[in-house]
């Protein structure tokens, strides 16, 4: 089997978010970057599938040079090779264009059986890239898969389980297909020291921004820029949290009268409705 995994790099979940001077982006100057947490489940699922059915796992990622650290992490976990679409200007590119760029490179890789990716990217909570890639490739996709029940390479089909309110639904889909992975899917392995050492020698193909044929993708080069993006960020604001404490005093007497309790309860309900606005 040939299994692809789309991974992305995001800000550390524990990083302190600060708005840039322009007011429409995040200041990433001193920020630590990690593999998108949901993509870790996708990498793990791909490796488990390879261990069960044989084949190879290819990582596909897009972004600046620092993304290589995330790619090496996936290779150290057990992936076999990787493709890096390298460019500094993709930070402002929207999901539509990112999906087209990734799909364009996947088409060059030849036939494949499965694509795994995280259910969303945690920086902007976007769950669109995987779906967009599937649409560009003309293959079916199943999102939020909690369990891959069966993969039948002879019949060219996969059986997936999705959780829903009060139960689950089982979906049968032909191969090749794309599956998005939530955190309930598996437990990602840690990269071992031998795995880290081997990752340095595994094939990594670099694709420069000037190597992309935009005519084949069906859109202009300006579509990957901030000005050409279909989705634009106008402004970003860090929410201000205000904490207030208000004490409702009752009767100080040991035996509180019933009317005192009713009066305190009435005041509490009024505060919850008018001030806190939770009821």
Alpha-carbon gap, residue 102 to 5, rounded angstroms: 11
SS3 264: helix
Alpha-carbon gap, residue 11 to 28, rounded angstroms: 8
Alpha-carbon gap, residue 98 to 96, rounded angstroms: 6
Token pair of 219 as six digits: 């859109």
Q: Which phi and psi angles does 6 have, rounded to 5°? A: -90, 120
Rg (Cα) of the chain, in Å, rounded? 24
- Topology annotation, domain 2-224: Rossmann fold (3.40.50)
Write the CA distances from 36 to 153, 157, 174, 181, 254, integer angstroms.
29, 28, 27, 12, 57
Alpha-carbon gap, residue 82 to 148, rounded angstroms: 23
**According to the model, what pLDDT value does residue 156 have?**
94
SS3 152: strand
Domain boundaries, given as residue ranges, for the chain: 2-224, 242-279
> What is the residue-level pLDDT of the chain in tens, covering all 279 positions?
999 999 999 888 777 777 888 877 777 777 889 999 999 999 999 999 999 999 999 999 999 999 999 999 999 999 999 999 998 877 778 888 899 999 999 999 999 999 999 999 887 778 889 999 999 999 999 999 999 999 999 999 999 999 888 889 999 999 999 999 998 899 999 999 999 999 999 999 999 877 888 778 888 777 777 777 888 888 888 777 777 777 777 665 554 556 677 788 888 888 888 887 778
Please state the pTM of the whole predicted model. Answer: 0.82
**According to the model, what pLDDT value does residue 250 have?**
63
Neighbour count for residue 262 (Cβ, 10 Å): 10
Token pair of 253 as six digits: 């007497």
Residue 104: alpha-carbon gap to chain centroid: 20
**According to the model, what pLDDT value does residue 237 have?**
81
Q: What is the dihedral of CA 224, 225, 231, 237, to 10 degrees?
A: 130
């Amino acid at each position: 089997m040939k299994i692809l995994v789309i991974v992305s790099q995001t800000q550390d979940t524990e990083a302190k978010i600060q708005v840039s001077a322009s007011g429409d982006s995040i200041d990433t100057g001193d920020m630590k970057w990690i593999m998108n947490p949901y993509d870790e489940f996708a990498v793990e699922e791909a490796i488990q599938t390879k261990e069960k059915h044989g084949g190879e796992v290819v990582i596909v990622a897009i972004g600046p040079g620092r993304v290589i650290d995330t790619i090496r992490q996936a290779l150290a976990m057990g992936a076999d090779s990787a493709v890096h679409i390298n460019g500094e200007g993709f930070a402002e590119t929207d999901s539509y264009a990112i999906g087209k760029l990734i799909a364009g490179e996947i088409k060059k890789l030849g036939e494949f059986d499965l694509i795994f990716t995280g259910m969303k990217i945690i920086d902007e909570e976007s769950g669109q890239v995987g779906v967009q890639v599937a649409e560009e490739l003309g293959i079916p996709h199943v999102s939020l898969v909690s369990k891959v029940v069966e993969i039948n390479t002879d019949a060219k089909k996969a059986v997936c389980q999705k959780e829903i309110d009060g139960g689950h639904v089982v979906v049968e889909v032909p191969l090749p297909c794309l599956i998005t992975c939530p955190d309930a899917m598996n437990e990602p392995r840690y990269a071992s020291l031998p795995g880290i050492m081997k990752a340095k020698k595994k094939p990594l193909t670099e694709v420069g921004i000037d190597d992309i044929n935009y005519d084949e993708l069906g859109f202009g080069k300006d579509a990957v820029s901030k000005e050409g993006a279909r989705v634009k960020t106008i402004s970003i604001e860090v929410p201000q949290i205000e904490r207030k404490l208000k004490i409702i005093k009752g009767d100080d007497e040991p035996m509180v009268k019933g009317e005192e309790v009713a009066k305190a309860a009435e005041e509490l309900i009024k505060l919850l409705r008018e001030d806190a606005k939770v009821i």
